[in-house]
Amino acid sequence: MDSITPTMPGQAEALALRYGPDAVPPAGPWSDAIALLLGHRSVRAYRPDAPPAGTLETLVAAAQSAATSSNLQTWSVVAVSDPAVRAQLATIAGGQKHIEQCPLFLVWLADLSRLGRIADAEGRTLEGLPYLETFLVASIDAALAAQNAVVAAESLGLSTVYIGALRNDVEAVARLLRLPPGAAGVFGLCVGYAEPAATGEVKPRLPQSAVLHRETYGIGDERAQRAAYDGLMGAFSRRNEMQADTWTERVLARIASIRSLRGRDRLKPALRALGFPLR
Ligand SMILES: Cc1cc2nc3c(=O)[nH]c(=O)nc-3n(C[C@H](O)[C@H](O)[C@H](O)COP(=O)(O)O)c2cc1C
């Protein structure tokens, strides 16, 4: 498997899979890269076979090719292979078994520690470092880098799933990975070859009219859009996950209570303890 899969659907089919048959946007320009992006799906069951030698380094090269705010490069990534550490990370993430199962597990860091070390070495003070803005810069950098790695992995026939649930306990993650102050795991990423039965369908998204605003923000017929999307997602769930949840039900359940944040309601004090004052 060395390139974009030849079995990728054409433009019309790819758009219909992403939006459902009733919300297909007008066709525009198209490329293999766009087809790859539209074919994305998260995978939560992996074969044990490792990707070829050099895959990790290739994914990191793709990650480092992402844009980075002011070229500060305020992110790092930890590749974790130790099964005992993987097991503990899986526990932190609420028992997500794919963290132990996938051949490659990456923890992406918002990493201001390097800038702190540069300042120390140069005998300088970085007054901008303790601000929320700088943490946000680092988190955005980490996300852009990781997404480049995801696209690169998918172009090689690999599958992925992000693991935001590592933020259930960022301090425990920092202890396990021996992170210096000023570095925090913002999410993990499983990478590997999908179990054939686990590839699933492309998960539909909201219609473009819900997310694309022209000139100014407009709510439009949001209720009707949501009802249509609930229908689409309910059917998707029944086909792929044997549940009948609509998108609305899932959204409400995900944010309904402090408990549903699964420890992430403590994120601010936890990040402060890890050396991010978030001023
Ligand atoms: C930052 C981030 C964190 C995520 N965390 C998890 C996670 O902890 N566990 C999981 O199974 N999926 C996780 N996901 C995957 C999303 O659930 C998935 O992307 C979404 O349902 C859309 O499905 P798709 O990626 O197959 O299109 C995460 C995705 C993102 C972007």
Amino acid identity at 203: K
Residue 22 lies in a domain: no
CA of 160 to the centre of ligand 1 (A): 9
Same domain assignment for residues 99 and 163? yes
C-alpha neighbours within 13 Å on the C-beta side of residue 268: 5
Residue 137 lies in a domain: yes
Same domain assignment for residues 160 and 236? no
Same domain assignment for residues 112 and 224? no
CA-nearest of 187, 183, 138 to 274 is: 183
Is 5 a residue whose pLDDT tops 70?
A: no
Residue 76: band (very low, low, confident or very high) from pLDDT cuts 50, 70, 90: very high
108: Cβ below 6 Å to ligand 1?
Answer: no
> Which residue's C-alpha comes closest to atom 1 of ligand 1?
164
Asked if 63 and 162 count as a contact pair (C-beta separation under 8 A), the reply is no
Which range of residues forms the domain containing residue 234?
Answer: 203-245
The crossing angle, in degrees rounded to 10, of helices 55-64 and 132-155 is 130
Same domain assignment for residues 170 and 269? yes
- If phi > 0 it is left, if psi is from -120 to 50 it is alpha, else beta; for residue 200 that is left
CA of 43 to the centre of ligand 1 (A): 9
Same domain assignment for residues 169 and 222? no
Instruction: Answer with the residue of higher pLDDT: 219 or 7.
Output: 219
CA of 164 to the centre of ligand 1 (A): 7
Mean pLDDT of the chain: 95
- 5 phi/psi in degrees, rounded to 5: -65, 135
Same domain assignment for residues 173 and 238? no
Same domain assignment for residues 99 and 229? no
Residue 145 lies in a domain: yes
Is 170 a residue whose pLDDT tops 90?
A: yes
Residue 185 lies in a domain: yes
> Which residue's C-alpha comes closest to atom 9 of ligand 1?
163
Same domain assignment for residues 214 and 163? no
Same domain assignment for residues 121 and 173? yes
Tens-place pLDDT, residues 116-137: 999 999 999 999 999 999 999 9
Atom of ligand 1 nearest to the CA of 42: 26
Q: What is the predicted pLDDT for the residue at 242?
A: 66
Residue 93 lies in a domain: yes
Average pLDDT over residues 183-204: 96
96: Cβ below 6 Å to ligand 1?
Answer: yes
Mutate to test the pocket of ligand 1, among 19, 37, 40, 42 (most ligand atoms within 8 A of CB): 42
Beta-strand runs (E) in 43-182: 75-79, 104-111, 159-163
Tell me how many domains the chain contains: 2
Is 145 a residue whose pLDDT tops 70?
A: yes
Q: What is the predicted pLDDT for the residue at 1?
A: 40
Residue 188 lies in a domain: yes
Same domain assignment for residues 219 and 183? no
Task: Tell me the CATH number at 172.
Answer: 3.40.109.10
Residue 2: band (very low, low, confident or very high) from pLDDT cuts 50, 70, 90: very low
Q: What is the predicted pLDDT for the residue at 49?
A: 96
Same domain assignment for residues 207 and 191? no
Residue 169 lies in a domain: yes
Q: What is the predicted pLDDT for the residue at 92?
A: 98
Rounded to whole angstroms, the Cα distance separating 116 from 13 reads 49
Amino acid identity at 104: L
Average pLDDT over residues 73-98: 98
Residue 212 lies in a domain: yes
Lowest mean pLDDT among 57-66, 140-149, 178-187, 219-228: 219-228
Q: Residue 192 to residues 87, 198, 202: CA-CA distances in angstroms?
A: 17, 12, 18
Tens-place pLDDT, residues 16-70: 999 999 999 999 999 999 999 999 999 999 999 999 999 999 999 999 999 999 9
Is 264 a residue whose pLDDT tops 80?
A: yes
CA of 221 to the centre of ligand 1 (A): 27
- Residues 6+ away with beta carbon under 8 Å from 227: none
Atom of ligand 1 nearest to the CA of 203: 27
Residue with tokens 């899932």: 250
Atom of ligand 1 nearest to the CA of 143: 1
Same domain assignment for residues 178 and 234? no
Q: What is the predicted pLDDT for the residue at 244?
A: 73
